[in-house]
Amino acid sequence: DRMVGGYERVRLQYRRWLTVEDGFYDHSRLQVNGTVIWEQPSTPGGGTHFIDTDWVMHDEYVDDLVDEDDTVSVAWTLESDWGLEFGGWNIDDVCLVAPADLGAWYASDDFDAGDGDNGCSTAPF
């Protein structure tokens, strides 16, 4: 859990390397305060596996999910069947990001986690 009180816009940023079967068989999810905000797709018949071939930046707004105690709890989950086995979740560079100046943030495209310094304006947890 991380405190994020006092900020109007909060984003969760992290890098992932995820390899799982199609969502028809496996279920990888990202949850914030118990709410699923991302899950890998499922295709009819389950023939399209979810295979990242490199680290992928993922960036989600989470300010609507901050609880009454101004905290954010993040969970990456995986439910796998007994069939094929892949690598699952690999997570790195996790940051909760909140701008000090919303006007400058909205006016700029520079607030990006892919800038080489992990994009963190707060300490990673």
pLDDT for the residue 46: 85
**Low-confidence residues in the chain, pLDDT < 50:** 111, 113-119, 121-125
pLDDT at residue 101 in the model: 63
Q: How far apart are CA 17 and CA 7, in angstroms?
A: 29
Tokens of 31: 């949850």
pLDDT, residue 88, reads 94
pLDDT at 67: 82
**Dmax over Cα atoms in the chain, in whole Å?**
50
What is the predicted pLDDT for the residue at 122? Answer: 43
User: In whole angstroms, what separates CA 58 from the centre of its chain?
Assistant: 5
Do residues 74 and 30 touch, judged by C-beta distance below 8 A?
Answer: yes
User: Bridge partners of 16?
Assistant: 56, 91
CB 10 within 8 A of CB 98: yes
Give the pLDDT confidence score for residue 69 in this predicted structure. Answer: 83
Total residue count of the chain as it appears in this document:
125
